[in-house]
Amino acid sequence: RIQLRKKRKPSYEEKDSEGEEYAESSEEDESDDELSIEEEVSRQKRKGRHTNDDAARKKRGRVLGQKKRSENYPDLEMWCPVSKGKISEVGRAVLDKLRDLDHLELFSRPVCEDFPSLADSYLREVKNPMDFRTIEHERLPTYGHISQLQEDLILTFRNCCIFNREPSEYFSYALKFWQTLNDIYYEVRAFHFCDTN
């Protein structure tokens, strides 16, 4: 990727051979400013092109527009694809493995359903609630790419981190799931592809 740098003007005055001071002409100053503005506009246009889903797929740590609250949030690489016919099978297997590991059953059902007394404060903090049951019954059948499952699972764990904050037990619990998510996916994926060959 090419990085454009804004041209800097010298912060000193140069002297010619006769010892007289001179500065750059105002025409050159204006052209540098115009070029810098053009470079800036061009950079902004390129930057704007990447605000779609493709940018979110490169690193799976945050949803676009959501602020990162902790430097400890993992950045996960996008899952490699599976055939469209295998998305549900692999997705259910990933969810089953995660459920087995979730001994607190923290992610199994919607938080507002399990803890109605926390619903108002939870929804003030968390804009897009997500849980394993919602993923399996409502979202999984609609996925066109396995990375959509990855995004929803990360959203589940991030929501827990946002609501519970560091250094709470639930924050650490969710973070462990988030950090091992790719390992779980590749383990499940390898098993399912070995079984079918």
Nearest alpha carbon to residue 139 among 118, 154, 124: 154
Q: What is the pLDDT along the chain (197 residues), one digit of tens a residue?
A: 444 444 444 443 444 444 544 444 444 444 444 445 556 555 555 555 444 444 444 445 544 444 444 457 999 999 999 999 999 999 999 999 999 999 999 999 999 999 999 999 999 999 999 999 999 999 999 999 999 999 999 999 999 999 999 999 999 999 999 999 999 999 999 988 765 44
- Cα–Cα distance, 35 to 137 (Å, whole number): 54
Q: Tell me, what's the pLDDT at 54?
A: 45
Confidence (pLDDT) at 155:
98
pTM of the model: 0.64
Q: Distance of CA 182 to CAs 9, 81, 98, 134, 168, Å?
A: 48, 13, 11, 20, 24
pLDDT score, position 36: 52
